[in-house]
Amino acid sequence: MHETLRQSWWIGPVEVPTRLVLAPMAGVTVQAFRRQGRRFGAGLVCSEMVSCAGIEHRNERTLGYLRVARDEHPLAIQIFGADPCAMAEAARMVEAAGADIVDMNFGCPVRKVTKTGAGANLLEDAELATRITEAVVSAVSVPVTVKMRRGVADGSRACLELGPRLVAAGAAALTLHPRSARQMYTGQADHSLTAELVELVDVPVIASGDIVSHTRAEAVLTATGAAAVMVGRGAQGNPWAVREIVDGDPAQPSREEVAAELIVFVREAARELGEQRAAGFLKKFYGWYLGHGRFPKPFKQELVQLRTTDDVVTRLFAAAPGAAPIVERLQLELPEPEDEILLDELPISIYGGG
SS3 145: strand
DSSP one-letter string for 15-27: EESSSEEEPP-TT
In percent, the amount of the chain with pLDDT more than 90 equals 73
* 3-class DSSP state of 99: coil
Q: Is 108 one of the catalytic residues?
A: yes
| Catalytic-labelled residue, pool 46, 52, 108, 159 | 108
pLDDT at res. 158 = 94
Least confident of 139-143, 252-256, 336-340: 336-340
What pLDDT score was predicted for residue 187? 87
Mean pLDDT on 257-266: 97
Does residue 302 come out as left (phi exceeding 0), alpha (psi in the -120 to 50 range) or beta? Answer: alpha
Q: Which residues pair with 145 in a beta bridge?
A: 103, 173
Dump pLDDT digits (tens) for 12-71.
Answer: 999 999 999 999 998 899 999 999 999 999 999 999 888 887 666 653 333 333 567 888
pLDDT at residue 344 above 60? no
Rounded Cα distance between 227 and 233, Å, is 20
> Mean pLDDT of all residues in the chain?
89
Q: Minimal CA–CA distance to 192: which of 172, 209, 204?
A: 209
pLDDT reported for residue 55: 62
The percentage of residues in the chain with a pLDDT greater than 70, rounded to a whole number, is 90
Give the helix/strand (H/E) hosting 68: strand 66-68
Could you tell me if 42 and 18 are in contact, meaning their C-beta atoms sit under 8 angstroms apart?
yes
SS3 content of the chain, % helix, strand, coil (to 5): 50, 15, 35
Per the CB < 8 A criterion, the answer to whether 229 and 178 are in contact is no
Positive/negative CA dihedral, 202, 77, 28, 51:
negative
275-333 pLDDT tens trace: 998 999 999 999 999 988 889 989 999 999 999 999 999 999 999 999 999 999 999 88
Q: What is the dihedral of CA 264, 270, 271, 277, to 10 degrees?
A: 160
